Structure 1
Amino acid sequence: MCKKERKPIGPRQKKRLLEKNAYVCCVCKSKGIGLNFHHLDEDPSNNSDDNIAVLCVKEHDNHHRPNAYSNVKHLDLSTEEIRKKKESWESFVNEAKKDNPTVLAVVTAYGTVDNILGTKLVFQWVNGKIEFERVYQLLDAPMDVWADKIIEEIIWVGKNIKLVLINEPVPIEYCDNCNGGALSRILDENMAIKETAVDWDKESLCTIYINPKQSSLAYTIFYKNDVIYQANIHKCGDELHFIDDKRDIRCSLLTYKVRTQVVKFLKDRLKEWDIKSAIIGTGNPDDPDIINNLTLPSVWENWSKKNKKRIEY
């Protein structure tokens, strides 16, 4: 087979490709390491942007010589895999540079409030796909340095990226399918839509349906007429039972002012969504009566037989 002649890549194209990739490898996103311009089709004369992937010298070598190093396993770094990573990373960088990007930076602390073991910064798409992540540990730097590094990373990728903090430390969990790798926390798609929507206050709406005959209610959150979240709350014995597509929460009901407790629980859930507008209905679920107040029927105060009496306000 005739070997094709290599055509040099001009300085303007190199600069353009590096900017598209934020000056890092599209595979590992490592900083401070030399970069190569890899021809995906192995044709050095085809210098179209779509055919050139920015790879660090390590990943470039791993692709061409996957069995050269006993301590490195990159047998899966095929041409197709590089192409996917190139397209995804360049799309992410492009989105991150926009004024209102639909990508997120999520920070999770691991350990306990009294003993933080490490922090993970995850850059994700709205649909939950992780583009890349960074891990900060006490062995690497003091805890007060982590915040500076996280801010530096966000500004590097895109200064307008929304930063979301998981509100409490979580224990370290591991994935058996990833050789013991620690699991990454991401924001669910429905909440990610809320966090990246610049018109959330105007375009979001919550509808609440209160069952007049049973101790149950349901609510739905809309964004631009699309349903993005649904949940229901009901009394199960002497417990308050909350269910959505991710959570199943039970808590003991108080023996007084049950309706006050339920309303507070619901308002706390809606506060998570920063809801400014709600429509409340009751009666016929197919054609509910609209009411002005979040008032629950007295059926919520009916206790099971093992309770001595029914408690009212």
Structure 2
Amino acid sequence: MPKRKHPSIEQRERLLTKNLYRCCVCKRGSVGLHLHHIDEDSSNTVDDNLAVLCVQDHDLHHRPDAYDRVKHAELGGEKIKEFKSSWESFVTEARQDKPKIIATISAYGNYEHIHAAQLVMQWFDEKIEYERIFHLLEGDYEYWAEEIIREVHDFGKNIKVAIINEPLPVERCPCCGKGFSRTVKEGIAVKMTEPNWSTDSTCSIYINPKQSSLALIISFRDEVIYQSNLHLCQGKYLHYSGDFYDERLEVKKRPSVRTQPTKIMQKVVDTWQPSKIFIGTGDYNKPLLINDFELPLCWEKRTS
């Protein structure tokens, strides 16, 4: 049987730093941390085979039957390897000059009384890597603010923060009810983090000259990051459908029908703030560029 090889002091420090002195599974810091041999070979003491685990998760791996299966997921070798790879990649990315990571802050309660706040650290594809809840039981709002800022700075000084200003009901609080974590869509994350968005982003709008429909594309350089379309449905509704948003609005009596979709599209453009806007009509494959956003008369066909 191969002789056990203990990690060196330098190796332990290197791995702890690579994991931000946190367990790669639960992401807790300020707790006892072990270096676990993923393949169970205690002589294979190389960085790729050592996972930083807190005492509890290390014990969970070795004694799974001692824990409530409802509250604790299986923590086998392959799962630990996944946690290690994802967490170490996240910590490395967070320290970059332009990290592809977003932090979001959500509140639970109402405008008069905020019950809790939640910090979520996510990848651009909305995969959540880290979450922390702040309750009134553990401090006031000032404490939350200081802790959230400290937490984000612990990961990296250049991480963009999105604050969700509309509070969710208390029953959505992850600790008190049916948990729900809000994240930032990938396209919005690109807009928030790309320093050249104000010069290299474009909005392309195609207006169908024969039917009450139009399409919008938001691009950054050569990459399409958002697509949507809007059409008049049954002469009664304006149906807007995007990559991550869908809404059907009843046509109002006033103002004119053409004015109503114009306002919707202006709101979309204001949200994305592209550096250039191209508006085309006519042949979809070879559209004619026009200077103004003008919808054809077919949009005015209402039904009573």
With the length of structure 2 as denominator, give the TM-score of the two structures: 0.91
The 3-state SS of whatever aligns with 1:256 is: coil
In 1, the alpha carbon distance for the partners of 2:296 and 2:200 equals 30
In 1, the alpha carbon distance for the partners of 2:144 and 2:209 equals 52
Give the counterpart of 2:56 among 55, 58, 80: 58
Match in the other structure for 2:188? 191
Match in the other structure for 2:107? 109
Match in the other structure for 2:202? 205
Matches for 1:1-313 after TM superposition, within 5 Å: 2=1, 4-69=2-67, 73-74=71-72, 76-171=74-169, 181-236=178-233, 237-251=235-249, 252-304=251-303, 306=304
Specify the code of the residue in structure 2 equivalent to 1:171.
P
Shift of 1:241: 2.0
The 3-state SS of whatever aligns with 1:139 is: helix
Specify the code of the residue in structure 1 equivalent to 2:103.
A
Unaligned runs of 5+ in 1: 307-313
In 2, the alpha carbon distance for the partners of 1:218 and 1:47 equals 56
In 1, the alpha carbon distance for the partners of 2:124 and 2:171 equals 23
In 2, the alpha carbon distance for the partners of 1:125 and 1:170 equals 22
Judge conservation of contact 1:39–1:51 (CA < 8 Å) in 2: yes
In 1, the alpha carbon distance for the partners of 2:146 and 2:116 equals 14
Shift of 1:263: 1.9
Paired positions, count:
301
Specify the code of the residue in structure 2 equivalent to 1:294.
F
Kindly report the root-mean-square deviation, in angstroms, between the aligned alpha carbons of the 2 structures: 2.3
Judge conservation of contact 1:67–1:75 (CA < 8 Å) in 2: no
User: Cα–Cα, structure 1 residues 222 and 115, in superposed 2: closer, same or farther, change >3 Å?
Assistant: same
Percentage identity across aligned positions?
A: 47
In 1, the alpha carbon distance for the partners of 2:222 and 2:171 equals 37
The 3-state SS of whatever aligns with 1:92 is: helix
Deviating more after overlay: 267-276 vs 68-77: 68-77
Specify the code of the residue in structure 1 equivalent to 2:267.
D
Judge conservation of contact 2:109–2:170 (CA < 8 Å) in 1: yes
C-alpha deviations, 1:155-211, integer Å up to 9, x for none? 001111111122322235669xxxx65021111222223223222223221110112
In 2, the alpha carbon distance for the partners of 1:174 and 1:147 equals 21
In 2, the alpha carbon distance for the partners of 1:160 and 1:260 equals 41
Judge conservation of contact 1:194–1:200 (CA < 8 Å) in 2: yes
With the length of structure 1 as denominator, give the TM-score of the two structures: 0.89
In 2, the alpha carbon distance for the partners of 1:68 and 1:299 equals 69
Judge conservation of contact 1:282–1:289 (CA < 8 Å) in 2: yes
Judge conservation of contact 1:219–1:230 (CA < 8 Å) in 2: yes
User: Cα–Cα, structure 1 residues 117 and 254, in superposed 2: closer, same or farther, change >3 Å?
Assistant: farther
Shift of 1:8: 2.7
In 2, the alpha carbon distance for the partners of 1:231 and 1:126 equals 20
In 2, the alpha carbon distance for the partners of 1:266 and 1:29 equals 42
Match in the other structure for 1:310? none
In 2, the alpha carbon distance for the partners of 1:171 and 1:280 equals 41
User: Cα–Cα, structure 1 residues 107 and 254, in superposed 2: closer, same or farther, change >3 Å?
Assistant: farther
Judge conservation of contact 2:107–2:167 (CA < 8 Å) in 1: yes
User: Cα–Cα, structure 1 residues 41 and 256, in superposed 2: closer, same or farther, change >3 Å?
Assistant: closer
C-alpha deviations, 1:86-143, integer Å up to 9, x for none? 0100000000000000011111112322332221111111111111101112222222
Match in the other structure for 1:309? none
Judge conservation of contact 1:234–1:240 (CA < 8 Å) in 2: yes
The 3-state SS of whatever aligns with 1:67 is: helix
Judge conservation of contact 1:240–1:253 (CA < 8 Å) in 2: no
Judge conservation of contact 1:254–1:261 (CA < 8 Å) in 2: no
The 3-state SS of whatever aligns with 1:258 is: coil
Judge conservation of contact 1:105–1:154 (CA < 8 Å) in 2: yes
In 1, the alpha carbon distance for the partners of 2:154 and 2:147 equals 10
Judge conservation of contact 2:197–2:275 (CA < 8 Å) in 1: no
Judge conservation of contact 1:63–1:74 (CA < 8 Å) in 2: no
User: Cα–Cα, structure 1 residues 174 and 115, in superposed 2: closer, same or farther, change >3 Å?
Assistant: closer
Judge conservation of contact 2:24–2:87 (CA < 8 Å) in 1: yes
